[in-house]
């Protein structure tokens, strides 16, 4: 009788977990894609990062990650299912297709001539994939284009940051895939605080309005 | 990102103000229809707490406000730390989910405890209506209540349940504390392209859209419950079954809290 109860509650818990797993997975909040630019001598370095779910999209787009995965179930004591072969991270980092895709979708041109890229994927899961572009001449002004994943969905966008450039940030989107950067001029710092401050003000406004609205509702409910 | 949510960014990039705002409202309402946005918890809460329309309205207001606040706050945090390589909102999302799960679990436990007491109380009344206060065994004499045989005034009255801020916020947080990735990306886009005003208005409208769906679900649940209540009046066994409903609703919140906690912990271990 008691065993039955345990079995039933176990099944119920498993069903509940299965039901909850789908919505939880359908709603990942992660960082937007970022690319960090810096230049030294003839080289421009771009460090590209993306959230885990975007990396999986990249993996399936380039074919680096196959749709299915094989597991081994060890029925012995303490046997956990173990995935066979390489993990998704290993597959992504070892994939030439991923490297080619990134090199094709993050490009640097100097005076209209492409600067060839070398891609290092060893940091892909952590600090980012590193692309080193070597141009013909010392870099001052270059055009940098970023179109990563916009072919999957035009809503994808990449936030670019630069050290020691004429601007600190830029938003690459499907309509703004390319921008000119100057690495011999520095942006004026500290001038863009008006926007966050006003967003903060709106935030306070929403809180105050919400509290007032709820109080009214409550007093209406009482009477 | 879900295909329909991406229309939010499309509208921000290309559409007129008015169209963009309408799209934000629509996408928000549609977003809440997808699984895992606290609709079941809202329904369970309203049943458990014998909620009325103003409970549903308050939940909707909190959902709209909380989602907007959380997008703006997380957007500002990201803005502040993004220049730094170590800056990431990933931990905010992971720990936020655990916080939501524990809040839901806490609300569920409190509501279940109250409804269980009320249920036992009602049953004690039904079984032995003429009894001394000692039968209850929860010390009414100490409070100095006036018991005149069958005119009891203690316990939650039928109808309007007490309005609990913690309960409302706990339940609403399940659907609104962790922002939609599309709304977050919209705000970041606004901050970076110098069109922050439109982005903030659209984020707020997205929250209002979410709230509209929550309100619709809440009102439907209340209407359905009241209809059922009228129907079963007089049917002994069915009416008795109806008296179980708040208990079942409270148990559903607790179950939901456990499921959310389990998935949040799994995500925390995996990260």
Domain ranges of chain A: 24-211
pLDDT at A122: 92
Q: Report the Cα–Cα distance between both ends of chain B, in Å, rounded.
A: 20
Contacts of A200 in chain B (CB under 8 A): 72, 76
A173 secondary structure, DSSP code: B
Contacts of B259 in chain A (CB under 8 A): 16-17, 19-20
The CB density around residue B103, as the number of other CB atoms within 10 Å, is: 21
**Residue with the two structure tokens 């001029």:** A185
Contacts of A167 in chain B (CB under 8 A): none
- Taking only the tens place, the pLDDT of each residue in B21-50 is 999 999 999 998 888 778 889 999 998 888
B255, A198: Cβ pair inside 8 Å? no
pLDDT at A46: 95
Residues 6+ apart with CB under 8 A from B1: A153, A155, A156, B181, B182, B185
Q: How far is B82 from chain A (nearest CA, A)?
A: 9
Q: Nearest chain B Cα to A34, which residue?
A: B82
The rounded distance, in Å, linking the Cα atoms of A173 and A55 is: 18
- Taking the complete model, does pTM exceed 0.90, yes or no? no
The domain spans of chain B are 6-128+156-270
- A20-59 residues touching B, CB cutoff 8 A: 20-24, 26-32, 34, 36, 51
pLDDT at A30: 77
For residue B10, pLDDT over 80 is answered with yes
For residue B155, pLDDT over 70 is answered with no
pLDDT confidence band for B143 (50 / 70 / 90): very low
- Taking only the tens place, the pLDDT of each residue in A126-165 is 889 999 999 999 998 899 999 999 998 888 889 998 877 7
Q: Which of A36, A155, A196 sits opposite B1 (nearest CB)?
A: A155
- Token reading at B179: 């922002």
- Taking only the tens place, the pLDDT of each residue in A36-95 is 999 999 999 999 999 888 898 999 899 888 776 666 666 666 666 666 777 888 889 989
Q: Are B41 and B256 in contact (CB under 8 A)?
A: yes
Residues 6+ apart with CB under 8 A from B207: B28, B63, B64, B65, B66, B67, B68, B71, B176, B183
A57 secondary structure, DSSP code: H
B140: left (phi over 0), alpha (psi -120 to 50) or beta: alpha
Q: How far is A155 from chain B (nearest CA, A)?
A: 5
Residues 6+ apart with CB under 8 A from B271: B90, B91, B94
B65, A207: Cβ pair inside 8 Å? yes
For residue B145, pLDDT over 50 is answered with no
Q: Nearest chain B Cα to A205, which residue?
A: B69
- A133-152 residues touching B, CB cutoff 8 A: none
Contacts of A20 in chain B (CB under 8 A): 36, 259-260, 262-263
B176 secondary structure, DSSP code: H
A202, B189: Cβ pair inside 8 Å? no
Percent of chain B exceeding pLDDT 90 equals 32
Q: Are strands A158-162 and A169-172 parallel, antiparallel or unpaired?
A: antiparallel
Q: Nearest chain A Cα to B90, which residue?
A: A30
The CB density around residue B114, as the number of other CB atoms within 10 Å, is: 19
The rounded distance, in Å, linking the Cα atoms of B189 and B230 is: 52
Q: Are A118 and A132 in contact (CB under 8 A)?
A: yes
The rounded distance, in Å, linking the Cα atoms of B29 and B212 is: 6
The rounded distance, in Å, linking the Cα atoms of B211 and B25 is: 10
* Sign of the alpha-carbon torsion through B167, A26, A53, A153: negative
pLDDT at B38: 83
């Amino acid at each position: 009788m008691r065993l039955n109860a345990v079995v039933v509650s176990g099944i119920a818990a498993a069903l509940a977990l299965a039901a909850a797993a789908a919505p939880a997975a359908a709603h990942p909040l992660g960082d937007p894609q970022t690319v960090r630019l810096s230049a030294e001598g003839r080289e421009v370095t771009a460090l590209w990062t993306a959230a885990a779910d975007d990396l999986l999209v990249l993996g399936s787009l380039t074919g680096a990650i196959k749709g299915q995965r094989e597991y081994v179930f060890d029925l012995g004591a303490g046997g956990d299912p173990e995935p066979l072969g390489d993990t998704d991270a290993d597959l992504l980092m070892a994939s030439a297709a991923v490297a080619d895709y990134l090199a094709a979708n993050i490009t640097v041109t100097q005076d209209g001539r492409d600067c060839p890229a070398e891609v290092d994927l060893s940091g892909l899961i952590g600090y980012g994939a590193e692309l080193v572009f070597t141009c013909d001449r010392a870099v001052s002004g270059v055009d940098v284009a970023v179109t990563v994943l916009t072919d999957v969905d035009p809503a994808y966008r990449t936030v670019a940051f630069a050290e020691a450039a004429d601007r600190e940030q830029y938003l690459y989107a499907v309509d703004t895939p390319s921008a000119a950067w100057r690495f011999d001029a520095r942006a004026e710092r500290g001038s863009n605080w008006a926007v966050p401050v006003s967003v903060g003000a709106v935030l306070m406004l929403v809180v105050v309005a919400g509290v007032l609205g709820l109080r009214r509702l409550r007093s209406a409910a009482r009477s | 990102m879900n295909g329909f949510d991406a229309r939010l960014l499309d509208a921000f990039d290309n559409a007129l103000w008015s169209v963009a705002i309408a799209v934000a409202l629509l996408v928000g309402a549609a977003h809440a229809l997808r699984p895992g946005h606290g609709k079941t918890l809202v329904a369970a809460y309203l049943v458990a707490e014998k909620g009325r329309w103003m409970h549903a309205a308050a939940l909707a207001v909190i959902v709209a406000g909380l989602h907007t606040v959380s997008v703006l706050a997380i957007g500002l945090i990201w803005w502040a730390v993004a220049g730094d390589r170590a800056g990431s909102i990933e931990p905010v999302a992971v720990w936020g989910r655990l916080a939501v799960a524990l809040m839901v679990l806490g609300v569920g436990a409190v509501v279940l405890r109250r409804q269980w007491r009320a249920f036992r109380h009602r049953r004690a009344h039904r079984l032995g209506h003429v009894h001394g206060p000692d039968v209850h065994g929860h010390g009414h004499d100490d409070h100095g209540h006036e018991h005149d045989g069958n005119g009891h005034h203690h316990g939650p009255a039928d109808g309007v349940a007490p309005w609990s801020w913690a309960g409302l916020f706990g339940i609403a947080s399940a659907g609104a504390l962790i922002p939609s990735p599309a709304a977050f990306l919209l705000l970041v886009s606004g901050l970076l392209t110098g069109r922050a005003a439109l982005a903030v208005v659209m984020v707020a409208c997205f929250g209002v859209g979410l709230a509209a769906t929550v309100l619709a679900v809440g009102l439907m649940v209340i209407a359905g419950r009241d209809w059922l209540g009228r129907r079963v009046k007089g049917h002994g066994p069915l009416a008795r079954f109806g008296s179980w409903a708040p208990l079942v609703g409270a148990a559903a919140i607790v179950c939901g809290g456990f499921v959310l906690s389990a998935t949040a912990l799994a995500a925390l271990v995996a990260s």
